[in-house]
Structure 1
Amino acid sequence: ASYYTPAQFAAADGSGVETLADLNGKTICVGLSTTYETWLNGDLDSLGLPAASYYADPPSDVTIIPLQTDNECAQQIQAGRNEFQAFLTSNTVVEAAIREGVAIHKVGSPVFSENLGVAFDRAGEKDPTSLVAKVGEIIAAMHADGTLSGFSMNWFGEDLTVDPTK
């Protein structure tokens, strides 16, 4: 993986949702067809993540409201809408919304971590093997010399290149 993104719940300030246990039976917003929606539905096998990447079980008896993007969940709260009590997205999206003044707070700790990297179309007409190998070499060098860590610190204020399961 090139970097790791923790999945984080957030709720509107004053919502009464403060802990992961408070999410049971609630309505939760997620981006449509995201890993967050898959996790909330309890379909952990299809996520393909190592067992150590899961830090909590999905809340029970939730109603899911999928919006086109994760950011729309925070935007709905900012607009004063209250069709859901919390949302699940990347910690980086939650942090950005808080920095932008959206009146939300994190609910509990991250619930899982995604192992992310560069995607390639392996079904295309051209064989991507040499490109995959070269990009892999470049990313490995950027890990080794600290370039990826530097980018992460610059853009996110934390080093997302370190495997949180180790």
Structure 2
Amino acid sequence: MRRALVTLITLVLVAAAACGGETTAGGGGDGGGSGTTGKEGNDLLSVVKERGTLIASTDPAYPPQSSRNPAGEFEGFDIDVTAEIAKRLGVDVKYVTPPFDAITSGGWSGRWDLSVGSITITPERQKVLLFTPAYYYTPASVAVHQENTDIQDPATDLDGATIGSCVACSYESYLEGTLEIPGEKPEFVIDDPQVMTYDTDTTAIQELALGDGARLDAVMSALPTLEGAIENDTPIKVVGDPLFYEPLGVAVDKESPEDPQAFFDEVSKIIQDMHSDGTLTEFSEKWYKGDDLTKKT
């Protein structure tokens, strides 16, 4: 009996060693991947290449940057950029879809390797995330319901208005007057807005579409996202000029369980190479109606 018990314990220990101590990330089916949990102390670049798969977080409902097509496959500008990064690393790619605020707050615990999620580079986020050079720039704009005739200029007509935005994103920070962008000084022109936050821009746009002032007076989002909604017959319209331009970078967690520096340096080089060889311009023109958003305006 004792000998059988010893044999059983030995088998269990061997099986545990074979698993390498790696665990599956929590947060639901799309909230995380197998990641690098359990491989603390390793180099992230080596771990990704050994795994053969880049695990990237993305937004499943943020067209034309990232969304699921009718077949359930991810597509969009950010998706093309992610796939190209994986290709140049020599690995496949797997997408996970955690909440946006879980991405920007850092502390990913190795559940995903990077985020190519149109994340605005800000000093606050740089405290917890490493950012590559900006891979593109997008105009932050305002839309109202198509029946609205009172709001024509965001700088003068939105004071005190109820405005929807994504949660923990640059638009919420702008509306609260706290947005900081390295090298830029945003001009805060909307006084005392009532800010309503949503899981993603698309949800806010759907709320605005319910009617003029029904739940929201306006929505703030990336201009391409607003234009995409209009093309899909959402009853909204863009008003005024962009309020600011966002530099958007690929993010890597500073608190990665394994050393992220070599991985970050390699991804940064890939982004620079994609600028130089025209790949980013090609993707931008593909998804943004011929516009090249990879150059700062």
Mean CA deviation greater in 21-30 or 144-153: 21-30
What's the counterpart of residue 178 of structure 2?
Answer: 43
Aligned with 1:120: secondary structure? strand
Task: Measure the CA separation in 2 of the matches of 1:23 and 1:79.
Answer: 19
What's the counterpart of residue 88 of structure 2?
Answer: none
What's the counterpart of residue 15 of structure 1?
Answer: 148
Task: Measure the CA separation in 1 of the matches of 2:198 and 2:189.
Answer: 19
Is this contact kept in 1: 2:145–2:211, CA < 8 A? no
- Please give the TM-score of this superposition, normalised by the length of structure 1: 0.89
Is this contact kept in 2: 1:30–1:73, CA < 8 A? yes
What's the counterpart of residue 141 of structure 1?
Answer: 273
Task: Measure the CA separation in 1 of the matches of 2:204 and 2:143.
Answer: 10
Displacement, 1:58?
3.4
Displacement, 1:78?
2.8
Aligned with 1:60: secondary structure? coil
Work out the percentage of aligned pairs sharing the same amino acid.
34
Is this contact kept in 1: 2:166–2:200, CA < 8 A? yes
1:96-123 per-residue CA deviation (whole Å, 9 max, x = no partner) reads: 1011111211111111111111111121
Which letter maps to 1:128? P
Displacement, 1:64?
1.2
Kindly report the root-mean-square deviation, in angstroms, between the aligned alpha carbons of the 2 structures.
1.6
What's the counterpart of residue 98 of structure 1?
Answer: 230
1:32-77 per-residue CA deviation (whole Å, 9 max, x = no partner) reads: 2211011100013xx333225x3x4230121111122111121123
1:86 aligned to which of 218, 223, 242: 218
Is this contact kept in 2: 1:12–1:77, CA < 8 A? yes
Report the structure number with the largest CA radius of gyration. 2
What's the counterpart of residue 51 of structure 2?
Answer: none
Task: Measure the CA separation in 2 of the matches of 1:48 and 1:78.
Answer: 30
For structure 2, the 5+ residue unaligned runs are 1-133
Is this contact kept in 2: 1:49–1:114, CA < 8 A? no
Is this contact kept in 1: 2:208–2:217, CA < 8 A? no
What's the counterpart of residue 162 of structure 1?
Answer: 295
For structure 1, the 5+ residue unaligned runs are none
Higher relative contact order (CA 8 A, sep 6+): 1
1:2 aligned to which of 135, 140, 144: 135
- Please give the TM-score of this superposition, normalised by the length of structure 2: 0.51
Q: How many residues align?
A: 160
Displacement, 1:159?
1.2
Pair 1:132 & 2:267 matched? no
Task: Measure the CA separation in 1 of the matches of 2:194 and 2:257.
Answer: 42
Displacement, 1:79?
3.5
